[in-house]
Amino acid sequence: MVYNTFSRRNTAIPDVFQYENIPEQLRVQSFRIIEDILENQHSSVKERIFSSVERILSEEYGAFSLTAILDYEEFTFRQSNQYYQIIRHWILSHPDISRVLDAIELSFNEIFSELSLEASRVTAITTRLNSRFREHGVGYQFESGQIIRIDSQFMHSEAVRPVLSLLTDPVFQGANEEFLRAHEYYRDGDYQGCLVECLKSFESTMKIICDKRNWDYGTRPTASSLINVCAQNNLFPSYLRSYFSSGIPTVRNTMAGHGQGSHIVNVTQHIAELQLHSTATIILFLTKAEKVLP
């Protein structure tokens, strides 16, 4: 749990998120959560988890080991808990925020996979971690196995988080993967990729609903044709067709759907943010509409 101490109650949570720095205190708190989860585990279990994290990250970064990337010369790692120490030092000391987030995200996922924790405990751990990010004004949250960037706490809590919860249903696996990929692209600054994945997730959601309701949508449906099928079957009023058609598909087709030609298309962060939030809101609407449809 996160204790509601006097100093915590009397320290205002920042209104504006920052994304360029992870304070030392947050790094320590994040790793302390990991230590608490593994407190009663045998050292061999801990090493198996952290050796997996080290292997995956070093391959992703194109190195034979993480020690080859960060200067570890001043440290002597005991063989008995070598990988634990490497990942601990990586999270506490690495200057690149993206790579620190990589290690935090992967560590929690490997722990959850190895220990097969109950859903209620995973939720409690995730809530604890996210509360630490929030109180330091760092604009990331751990949701559905990924650290995603958030720019509006209201939009995140009212639209993004409910959608991530809905899409964990195995039926929505494809749409969930695409929506999470959109967040990953957004976090990494690939705003064109974000727009493309948002549209995919929107289309996948409509296809899943159509399949569930046995509505025929042909062999190569477009967003427009899927919108028409859903409207024709009274998933939503027909006057919303133009609203859906002019939003997510138009933004993607205009900014990221085709070759740029002689003019470079610059997709700004606020356009990508709009697309993410619009996609979350519309997917939430569609899934709720399907549930109340006779």
Per domain, the residue ranges of the chain are 6-149, 164-292
Question: What mean pLDDT, rounded, does the chain reach?
Answer: 84
Condensed to tens digits (0 to 9), the pLDDT of residues 226-244 reads 999 999 999 998 888 888 8
- The residues, ordered by sequence, that sit 6+ positions from 282 with a Cβ below 8 Å of its Cβ are 202, 244, 247, 248
**Regarding predicted confidence, which is higher, 249 or 15?**
249
Q: Please, which pLDDT band fits residue 259 given cuts at 50, 70 and 90?
A: very low
Residue 15 has pLDDT above 50, yes or no: no
**Regarding predicted confidence, which is higher, 97 or 152?**
97
Q: What is the pLDDT of residue 149?
A: 83
Q: Please, which pLDDT band fits residue 71 given cuts at 50, 70 and 90?
A: low
Residue 257 has pLDDT above 90, yes or no: no
Q: In CATH, what is the architecture of 164-292?
A: Up-down Bundle (1.20)
Q: Please, which pLDDT band fits residue 260 given cuts at 50, 70 and 90?
A: very low
Residue 116 has pLDDT above 60, yes or no: yes
Residue 157 has pLDDT above 50, yes or no: yes
Cα–Cα distance measured from residue 167 to residue 176, given in angstroms and rounded to the nearest whole number: 5
Q: What is the pLDDT of residue 2?
A: 61
Q: CB neighbours (10 Å) of residue 271?
A: 18
- 111: which 2 tokens? 């722990």
- 153: which 2 tokens? 């706490």
- 90: which 2 tokens? 């990586």
Q: What is the 3-state secondary structure (H, E, C) of 59-79?
A: HHCCCCCHHHCCCCCCCCCCH
Q: Among 32-36, 158-162, 280-284, name the one with the lowest average pLDDT.
A: 158-162
**Regarding predicted confidence, which is higher, 258 or 130?**
130
Separation in Å, CA 114 to CA 38, 41, 129, 154: 11, 11, 19, 33
Residue 100 has pLDDT above 80, yes or no: yes
